[in-house]
Chain A
Amino acid sequence: MKDIHAFLCSPAESTLRHGPHDRIVMSSRVRLARNLRDYAFPGWAKKPERVKILETILPAVSSLPEMADSFADGMDNLAALDKQLLVERHLISREHAAKSVGSGLVINRAETFSVMINEEDHLRMQALCPGFQTRAAWQAIDQLDSALEKKLNYAFDNELGYLTACPTNLGTGIRVSAMLHLPGLVLAEQINPIIQSVNKLGLAVRGLYGEGTEALGNVFQVSNQMTLGESETVIVERLEKVLSQIIEHEENARQTLLEKKPKVVFNHIGRAYGILANAHSISSKEAMNLLSLLRLGMDMELFPGAPRPLVDELFLTTQPAHLQKQISDKLTAEERDLIRADMVRARLKDLSRPVTK
């Protein structure tokens, strides 16, 4: 049995993944919901049925050529901390982290595919790409799905499409989403009108970890909500259009802030630097919000020569499970805040103050 922590690449390596527009679009993802025809949905199936479903799906997924050299296991074999680690890497949902016997997980070596078994549906498979690559993510998961449909009996109806546990996912079962870093729109106080107009287009805006989470570190997730009555390509293309517009708005907001309110920008970034480089106790929430400003400072070239991955890595390693995995899982929240601050100070030791004219 593989250890998930040893299987995943290190936080430092993960920051080396790049894609188009990755200053603003941190990652793109497409997930598909699928179910087997002859079984009850996971939320209604009893444990023996769920175990049987898992025993049917897990080998089918693992045997795909795309999933050669993968991590594949039951959720009951993962420690709570490991599950949390996977949530922080966006490889599983928070809902899936709460699962145990009868649910499972398959992740490929490159961490581009993650297949959750018996989450809300029998199958929730996602393709994750760095930067703005929604179309590439769709093509990748479409291929994986086409290979898998030859091995499993999907629940499909000519009228309603792929049948899902929740009617909100019916039809294509697709959710296209992108994780966006939007500090400019937040600082310029333009984020709320943007969220409202995106909502009006039938798209959802959520926080860092999806449904019901807050936008820590100025990170927002934009995704489609409607899945029935439109093809996957149409849904992907609409999201692409909206994302391009949000990127443009964010770029404009940053530009305008620098031209019209440079002191406001320098003040925020300077304070963020000051606290991160000198604090002796810091919560993960505060760390993420300040690291977001540091990231903005790097985008604005206020830290000449500083390596961008430095901030991206801290963005991951300061999160609770990542921190505990490095040190020990027997720390109290207060102890973690001290260690987190020590780590951030040490990592930022060679970073000079922001250069402001």
Chain B
Amino acid sequence: MQCCVCKAKPATVHLTQIVGEKMQKLDLCEECAKAKGVNDPASFAMADMMLGLGASQELDPSSGAVEVKCPRCGFSQADFKKSGRLGCPECYRTFAEGLGGLLKTMHKGTRHVGKAPEALRQTRDNVDRLKTLQKKLTKAIETEDFELAAQFRDEIKALGSAAPAKTR
């Protein structure tokens, strides 16, 4: 990913800023970030990763940014730092970006394996199968095996019409 200011160097600093109702994302290279007055990324990255949410959502308070809050329950990153617990199920989506790194340090993997509620199990299996089929399709096209590709295409079509919309 390129820096969105100089459009030359790779972006290493990612910012999410909420201004009014709108969310803005910025991807900056280190130099542009410094020039824009964002703190040295190394100084806040470590502590925040350990505590929970990533540097991506932390802004220099002097820049006047508004903290990210869960739209459903109003829980903020500061609340998480205080309690180590989240506010509601929706928080996992609100703070997804920062939580990714934390989950990696905490658990064996970052994707759930195991039991799922019966009602969702079929959808879940279908989503998995869809992903596999799409991969196979791409590969078949790459190797120019169009007969096989057509077969995968039909399977994906059949699955798509059978499965309801993704539950996520």
CB proximity to B under 8 Å, residues A6-24: none
**Alpha-carbon gap, A42 to B22, bound state (A):** 30
Q: Which residues of the partner chain B approach A348 to less than 8 Å between Cβ atoms?
A: none
In the complex, the answer to whether B109 meets A154 with C-beta atoms within 8 Å is: no
Is B127 engaged at the interface, CB distance under 8 Å to the other chain?
Answer: yes
Question: Are B127 and A158 in touch, CB under 8 angstroms?
Answer: yes
Expressed in whole angstroms, the Cα–Cα distance for A163 and B72 within the complex equals 15
Q: In the complex, are the beta carbons of A229 and B88 less than 8 A apart?
A: no
Q: How large is the interface on B (under 10, 10 to 19, 20 to 34, 35 or more residues)?
A: 35 or more
Determine which of B88, B124, B167 lies in contact with A39 in the assembled complex, contact meaning CB atoms within 8 Å: B88
A interface, over-half SS? loop
User: What's the minimum C-beta distance from A145 to chain B, rounded to whole angstroms?
Assistant: 8
- Residue among B73, B106, B109, B119 with the highest chain A CB neighbour number at 10 A: B106
Interface status of A188 (Cβ within 8 A of chain B): no
What does the 1/0 interface line of B13-30 toward A look like (CB < 8 Å)? 000000000000000000
Interface 9-mer from A70-78, A102-110, A167-175 = A167-175
Residue of A at shortest CB range from B87?
A44
Nearest B residue to A161 by beta-carbon distance? Answer: B112
Chain B residue at minimum C-beta to C-beta distance from A122: B89
Do B103 and A228 touch across chains, with their CB atoms under 8 A apart? yes
Q: Which of B86-110 contact A (CB under 8 A)?
A: 86-89, 92, 99, 102-103, 106-110
Q: Give the A-B pair count, Cβ closer than 8 A.
A: 115
Interface centre among B83, B84, B114 (most CB of A within 10 A): B114
Is A172's CB under 8 angstroms from B109's CB? Answer: no
In the assembled complex, the Cα of A12 lies from the Cα of B85 at a distance in Å of 40
Query: Which residues 131-168 of B have a CB within 8 angstroms of A?
Result: 166-168
Interface size on A, residues (CB 8 A): 41
Query: Is B45 interfacial (CB 8 A cutoff)?
Result: no
Contact A149 B114 (CB under 8 A): no
Q: B113 contacts the other chain (Cβ, under 8 Å)?
A: yes
Cβ contact within 8 Å between B117 and A172: no
Within residues 66 to 87 of chain B, which ones have a CB less than 8 A from any CB in chain A? Answer: 73, 75, 79, 83-87
B75:A154 contact, CB within 8 angstroms = no
Q: A82 to B106: give the CA distance in the assembly, Å.
A: 36
Distance in Å: Cβ of B109 to nearest Cβ of chain A? 2
The reply to whether A146 and B118 form a contact with Cβ atoms under 8 Å apart is yes
Residue B50 at the A interface, CB < 8 A?
Answer: no
CB under 8 Å from chain B, chain A span 154-187: 154-163, 165-168, 170-172, 174
- Provide 15 A-B residue pairs closer than 8 Å at the C-beta atoms, listed in order of the A residue: A37-B89, A41-B89, A142-B115, A149-B118, A154-B117, A158-B112, A159-B111, A160-B111, A168-B106, A228-B103, A228-B107, A228-B112, A229-B111, A229-B112, A230-B109
18 new A-B pairs (CB below 8 Å) besides A156-B120, A228-B108?
A44-B75, A44-B88, A142-B115, A146-B118, A149-B118, A155-B89, A156-B116, A157-B112, A157-B168, A158-B166, A158-B167, A167-B103, A167-B106, A170-B103, A172-B114, A229-B112, A231-B115, A234-B113
Closest 7 CB pairs of A and B: A229-B109, A161-B112, A155-B89, A229-B108, A231-B114, A228-B107, A44-B87
